[in-house]
Structure 1
Amino acid sequence: MASEGTGVSELAARYSTALFELADENQALDTVASDLTTLKQILAESADLRRLVRSPVISRADQGKAMAAVLDSAGVSDLTKRFIGLVAANRRLFSIDGMIEGFLAELARRRGEVTAQVTTAQPLNDAQRDAVIDALKASIGSKVLVNTSVDPELIGGMIVKFGSRMVDTSVRTKLNKLQLAMKASGGSV
């Protein structure tokens, strides 16, 4: 797995690579991926849990106990629990997001999948989501996984990011470009 830069990303890459190899040896890639996706969602929804994993003042023992309780209630596999326990014991929970992303990215790469982040002003219905996936498959030429999010500030349209590419068709961006063009031509806004 390639790391991007230094510090946390290299640390996260090392841990995610180790977990990936361990899960592969134990034929538990799908199980661990599901566990990590669940943990990612729990972290996204809980500000308290995010503070817990990032806090340098909470002891490693308390972080470990708290994470064990969260993982038990989420019903994750023993392998994932042991990995997160090791991460907590090594005081590396602050980097858990990068570890999750690294693991999932490597799994997608191995399967020949591309993950696209689609941000829209309003939630997509199933037909719209399918249309976006079909358009991305046709454009990219490989299997596409789509993560969606909603940002009402876009007003309309969407932003699609995959790999190093980004397509921004949001109304907000179009209005900003129009505003800049009007300023450049001396018009008032």
Structure 2
Amino acid sequence: MSAIGNEYGNAIFLLAEEEGMLDEVMIGLDSCRKIFEENPEYRDFLGTPSIPIGERLDAVRSAFDGKLPDRVTDFVCLLTERGYIRFFPDCVENFENEYNRRFDIAVADVVSAKPLGVSERQALRDTLEARTARRIKLNCTVDPELVGGLVVKIDGKLFDGSIRARITDILEEMTK
């Protein structure tokens, strides 16, 4: 993560905390991050110095006013004005890390063979929360090469409950 991402991410976190808007700003930053991920050319446009700054700021306001918290729209404008919009993902990552620390949330990276349904996600979250005594945020991805089961990573600890891992364990036992 960049120094600018750390500095600006921490600044918006402290401001949102002071204003009692941590949840709203977190949701807004996450929504904006998704927009930039789905439309990288839009973020590139905002970072193009040859386009007049007024035009770029108008584009931010027309895209986000009323759709995101004002604090998030202002933050995107600030990064655009200062030429730092390319650091937006780092800023959000820093904000999210601070948010998770503040509310004792652990991030669980979950890999499954097929997409998990809502009830499966909730059951997994409940199980992990019971085992860790922390709130859990799931980051789910799909790996079709996984035959079945789940691979979960929390706080650097890997829990491999995949069928592939079970088969490997069985094969190791058979070769002993």
CA distance in 1, matches of 2:162, 2:92: 29
Correspondent of 2:90 among 79, 95, 98: 98
Correspondent of 1:34 among 27, 37, 40: 27
1:117-175 C-alpha deviation (Å, 9 max, x unpaired): 22322111122112211221133221112122333343433332222223344456778
TM-score (norm 2): 0.78
Comparing both chains, which one has the higher relative contact order based on Cα–Cα distances under 8 Å and sequence gaps of 6 or more? 2
1:46-93 C-alpha deviation (Å, 9 max, x unpaired): 34335446x6666472544443333237x0111111111111111111
CA contact (8 A) 1:115 1:144 kept: yes
CA distance in 2, matches of 1:117, 1:40: 19
How many Å apart are 1:31 and its aligned residue?
1.2
Matches within 5 A, 1:36-185: 36-49=29-42, 51-52=44-45, 59=51, 61=53, 63-72=56-65, 75-170=67-162
Q: Write the letter of the residue equivalent to 1:70.
A: A
CA contact (8 A) 1:60 1:91 kept: no
Aligned-pair Cα RMSD in Å? 3.0
Deviates more, 1:60-69 or 1:135-144: 60-69
TM-score (norm 1): 0.74
CA contact (8 A) 1:159 1:167 kept: yes
1:79-120 C-alpha deviation (Å, 9 max, x unpaired): 111111111111111111111121122112111111222232
Aligned-residue identity in percent: 28
How many Å apart are 1:42 and its aligned residue?
1.7
Q: Which runs of 5+ in 1 are unaligned?
A: 1-7
CA distance in 1, matches of 2:74, 2:7: 16
Q: Which runs of 5+ in 2 are unaligned?
A: none
Query: Match of 1:124, SS?
Result: coil
Paired residue total: 170
